Amino acid sequence: MEKLLKYELIELLKKDVLVFNDYREKNNFERIDLSYANLSNANLYNADLSDANLSYANLSYANLSNANLSYSDLSNANLYNANLSKADLYNANLSNANLYNAALSYANLSYANLSNANLSYSDLSDANLYNLNLSNANLYNLNLSNANLYNADLSYANLSDANLYNSNLSNANLSNADLSDANLYNLNLSNANLSNANLYNAALYNANLSYANLSYANLSNANLSYSDLSNANLYNADLSKADLYNANLSNANLYNAALYNANLYNADLSYANLSDADLDYASLSFSCKSIKAKFDEKHIIQILYHAAMPTQNNKLNIKDKDLKKLLKLTTFKKVVNKFHRIKETGKFIDFKEQ
């Protein structure tokens, strides 16, 4: 079949997708050049644009649902408000593309390159994003619920206010990403790299963060209740005012972590490393699971101080003779009064019998 010129290809694609697809098949799907083409508002449903050069093309408001765009070059393309639902974008190059408010639900974006792309307000729900490159991408307020992002690169991406409910981000790279105020409920982040990530005020209820790297991450004000942080690396992480109610922190590394005013009630801290961690004003239940953690001297003094204070004037009505003797020991009082907030909280005097 006689090969068409670039402008003829564009006109054919706009006019009749079925004839266009037939033309491509008869030409053995040779790579076609549609760069800089103006295809805005075009109905390209089910179009075969695999391996096509669509760089810098204008596809705003275009209907590309069910289209085959695998291996295509869409770098710097304008896909503003485009419909790409159920489209095949396997291994496509979408770097620097504008996908603002685009519909990508159920699309196949595995191995695609979306680095530096603008995906704010777009819908990627139920999409396949396996091994996707989204580094430096703008994903503000994006809907990524139920998406598969296994092994994806989201480093330095903006995911603030994004919805990632029930998605799979295991093994993903989210280092330096902004996930503040994001909905991460029921999210799988096992083995993910979240070092230096901003998770301020994020909803991580029931999330799986086992073996994740959260060193230097900002998790202040985050809701981590019922989450799994077992074996996670939280070195130098900021968890101040975080809700860790009933969270699993067994074997977690919390060395030098900030847990100021955090809620650790009923959390599993068995064999966790809390050396040099800041537990000031943290709510910590004394269970077998929590006291198996590795505390340092400062924490032991804090625990003794807070345990001893209610015994003054026999407020706990202590009857055990040996415990009474312990509380009256000069050495015990010396240790307890090493608590670093003694000036504002008061000294432990001694146990006075009524």
At 228-268, the pLDDT tens digits run 999 999 999 999 999 999 999 999 999 999 999 999 999 99
Closest to 146 in 3D by CA, of 171, 169, 126: 126
Angle (CA) 79 80 85, round 5°: 65
Distance of alpha carbon 158 from alpha carbon 152, whole angstroms: 14
**What pLDDT was estimated at residue 68?**
98
Q: Which residue has the tokens 């919805």?
A: 163
The model carries a pTM of: 0.82
Q: Which residues pair with 253 in a beta bridge?
A: 233, 273
| First-residue to last-residue Cα distance in the chain | 106
Distance of alpha carbon 150 from alpha carbon 68, whole angstroms: 22
Q: Which residues pair with 193 in a beta bridge?
A: 173, 213
Contact between 153 and 175 (Cβ < 8 Å): no
**What pLDDT was estimated at residue 352?**
60
One-letter amino acid at 326 equals L
3-class DSSP state of 253: strand
**What pLDDT was estimated at residue 261?**
94
Distance of alpha carbon 273 from alpha carbon 158, whole angstroms: 31
Run means of pLDDT, 10 residues per run, the chain, 354 residues:
88 97 93 97 98 98 98 98 98 98 96 96 92 94 91 96 95 98 97 98 98 98 98 98 97 96 93 89 68 70 74 75 83 81 78 53
Q: Which residue has the tokens 């959260």?
A: 214
**What pLDDT was estimated at residue 293?**
67
Distances (CA, A) of 74 to 79, 95, 353: 9, 7, 81
What does the DSSP assignment read for 188-213? B-TT-B-TT-B-TT-B-TT-B-TT-B
For 330, residues 6+ apart whose C-beta sits below 8 A from its C-beta are none
Distance of alpha carbon 22 from alpha carbon 293, whole angstroms: 67
**What pLDDT was estimated at residue 287?**
61
Tokens found for residue 89: 């974008």
Distances (CA, A) of 280 to 22, 60, 142, 181, 262: 70, 53, 36, 25, 9
pLDDT in tens, 276-292: 898 887 887 666 555 56
**What pLDDT was estimated at residue 314?**
66
Q: Which residues pair with 238 in a beta bridge?
A: 218, 258
